Amino acid sequence: MVKLSFLVLLLAGAALIIATGDNPFGAPLVIGLIAIAALVVGITRPSHRPGDVDVLTSTGTIIARSRRRVIVWCLALMLVAAATCIAYFLALDFPGGIPGNRSAGFLLIAIGCFCYAAWRLIGAVTSTDLRLDAEGVHISSPVRRTRLIEWDDIMLTTGTESHLVLVLSDGTEPSFPFRHQATDPQVLRALIDRCSAFPAARERIGDMILGDLLVDAAPDGSLPSGPPTARK
């Protein structure tokens, strides 16, 4: 589907170059549109796959970070989209302009991609980083001050692929953006649930608790009675 979209865009770009003839802004307009398509593909690429574990571990600590590289992609897309809009208006004002009323679709594409990049940029900046240690879960992001939620306050974790929701003992359910986490959110929820429910598991935070999940150890941190389950 992506390759087909690129092919259609290239054909449309070639047709636009031919149609604009001597218009010097026709080629930059097409280059901008192709660059927009490439950047959109980079931004929409998922930050993790099911089962991914991408964390930093040490004795007593697990750090799960969000991917921030997408911020650069979003800023680049906004810049290219803005430049493409400028190229469109310059091409339109050049003697001979751009033939056909349908050329306005190129402008709408650029404006739409600019807004999309701005929306995804907000998600990338606010996406949550987690640090698990003996105290609890430390939650932070580039625009959020670190918040500590102690283990005994956590009753349950829930949410979606894009949000982590913690059900706390005081009845509140704070929600944290999670879209760009490098680790599968289900794995992180399982870690938080296990450590909040079993104090013994908190003593194994680090490589050991990850190993417990892989070998299907009991939630309280004890090892399985049978042979470990092979990792898929």
From first to last of the 232 residues of the chain, give the pLDDT tens digit. 445 455 555 555 555 554 555 555 566 777 777 788 778 877 887 777 777 788 888 888 899 999 888 899 899 999 988 988 887 787 777 665 555 555 677 788 888 889 999 999 998 899 999 999 989 999 999 888 899 999 999 998 988 878 899 999 998 999 998 888 888 888 888 889 888 888 888 888 887 776 666 545 445 444 444 433 333 3
- Can you list the positions of beta strands (E) in the chain? 55-58, 61-64, 129-132, 136-141, 144-150, 154-159, 163-168, 175-177
- Residue keyed to tokens 């941190």: 221
Do residues 110 and 33 touch, judged by C-beta distance below 8 A? yes
CA distance 176 to 159: 9
CA distance 212 to 222: 8
- Closest residue by Cα to residue 179 from 113, 143, 129: 129
CA distance 179 to 43: 12
